[in-house]
């Protein structure tokens, strides 16, 4: 079985933010630039195999992401600086945005655009993904160790046991909680959760493409840097979200390094 990879907006954006002017001793890049760009460079080398995929909605979101960052930064500067040269500010951000948009465009060229989607099917999948995230949110809320400890202590069993047994039970609840739980909780609450729902389309389209390519014995995975898709951390890794997505939709959600590893392995497999 060979693989294809849908590249999420964040991967494409982080691979587009880079400027290295050696003569000026200036190096600016996104925190995830190296990991995202390595993947795109590999896909570029094997462009004829059309491993990397994107959709119109991904492209639209990526462009909006740059536009919104410009507006936000201009607003930030406006609120801080009393004497503001608006002309200069406009000139600066026109240059920054243009350089990022050109790099973004070059990154899209490496990938294959998937245009054909059945609207009805995408609509249904979107609903399923939305429902899935609400269920996930409530599961994550229920995982909160402090709430679980309070509930336990209020329960009949909790009131009955005392001393060491009580202490052990409380520690067990804490130990059962996934690593980096609070990062996950933060991601699935308040504004962060609302923002995240904007990415529902990416997963819905990936599921659609997975179904489409399954007939050709090709596995489609989603490559992202966002924790509502991929695992958190490197050492004490929290795979709760990607595991749940895999269980529910049979989609592998990986970060660019993991994705690159799998693509390389599959490529070797195909060569053999």
Partner 1 sequence: MSLSEIHGKFKKMEKRDKVDLKIVKSLEKYKESLIKVEKKFLNSKNLTEKFEFYYLLKSQIRAIDSLVFRIRNPIPHDNPKVVDDVLKIWPSLQHADLIINKSKYGEPSFEIATQIQSDFIKYNLYPSPEEILNEMNKKSLKKNFNLFVSNIGEEVYEC
Q: Give contact residues for partner 1 (rule: CB under 8 A).
A: 10, 13-14, 17, 19, 21, 24-26, 28-32, 60, 63, 65-67, 69-78, 86-90, 92-103, 105-106, 179-180, 183, 187, 225-227, 232-236
If the CB atoms of residues 72 and 214 are measured against partner 1, the closer one turns out to be: 72
Q: Strands 112-114 and 26-29, how do they pair?
A: unpaired
If the CB atoms of residues 86 and 217 are measured against partner 1, the closer one turns out to be: 86
In the complex, the smallest distance separating the C-beta of residue 118 from partner 1, rounded to whole angstroms, is 25
Supply 40's token pair.
């795109």
If the CB atoms of residues 6 and 13 are measured against partner 1, the closer one turns out to be: 13
If the CB atoms of residues 1 and 237 are measured against partner 1, the closer one turns out to be: 237
If the CB atoms of residues 98 and 151 are measured against partner 1, the closer one turns out to be: 98
In the complex, the smallest distance separating the C-beta of residue 89 from partner 1, rounded to whole angstroms, is 6
Residue with token string 């050492």: 235
In the complex, the smallest distance separating the C-beta of residue 197 from partner 1, rounded to whole angstroms, is 16
In the complex, the smallest distance separating the C-beta of residue 82 from partner 1, rounded to whole angstroms, is 15
Angle, CA 70 vertex, CA 65 and CA 74 arms, to 5°: 150
If the CB atoms of residues 127 and 198 are measured against partner 1, the closer one turns out to be: 198
In the complex, the smallest distance separating the C-beta of residue 172 from partner 1, rounded to whole angstroms, is 23
Q: Strands 218-223 and 253-254, how do they pair?
A: parallel
Alpha carbon distance 113, 47 (integer Å): 12
Alpha carbon distance 229, 223 (integer Å): 8
Alpha carbon distance 205, 208 (integer Å): 5
Question: What is the DSSP code string of 17-32?
Answer: -EEEEGGGTEEEE-TT
CA separation, residue 219 to residues 93, 173, 213 (Å): 40, 37, 7
In the complex, the smallest distance separating the C-beta of residue 198 from partner 1, rounded to whole angstroms, is 13
């Amino acid at each position: 079985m060979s693989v294809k990879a849908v590249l999420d907006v964040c991967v494409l954006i982080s691979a587009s933010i880079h400027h290295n002017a050696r003569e000026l001793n200036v190096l600016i890049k996104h925190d995830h630039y190296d990991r995202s760009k390595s993947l795109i460079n590999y896909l570029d080398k094997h462009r004829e195999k059309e491993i990397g995929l994107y959709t119109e909605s991904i492209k639209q979101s990526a462009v909006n992401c740059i536009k919104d960052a410009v507006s936000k930064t201009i607003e930030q500067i406006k609120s801080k600086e009393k004497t503001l040269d608006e002309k200069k500010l406009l000139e600066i951000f026109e240059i920054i945005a243009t350089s990022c948009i050109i790099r973004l465009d070059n990154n899209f060229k490496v990938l294959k655009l998937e245009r054909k989607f059945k609207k009805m099917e995408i609509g249904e999948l979107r609903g399923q993904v939305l429902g899935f995230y609400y269920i996930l949110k409530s599961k994550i809320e229920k995982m909160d160790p402090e709430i679980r400890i309070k509930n336990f202590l209020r329960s009949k069993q909790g009131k009955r046991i005392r001393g060491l047994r009580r202490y052990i039970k409380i520690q067990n609840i804490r130990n059962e909680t996934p690593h980096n739980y609070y990062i996950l909780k933060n991601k699935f609450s308040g504004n962060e959760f609302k923002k995240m729902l904007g990415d529902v389309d990416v997963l819905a389209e990936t599921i659609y493409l997975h179904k489409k390519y399954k007939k050709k014995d090709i596995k489609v995975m989603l490559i992202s840097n966002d924790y509502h898709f991929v695992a958190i951390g490197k050492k004490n890794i929290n795979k709760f979200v990607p595991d749940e997505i895999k269980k529910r939709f049979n989609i592998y959600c990986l970060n660019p390094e993991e994705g690159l590893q799998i693509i390389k392995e599959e490529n070797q497999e195909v060569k053999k």
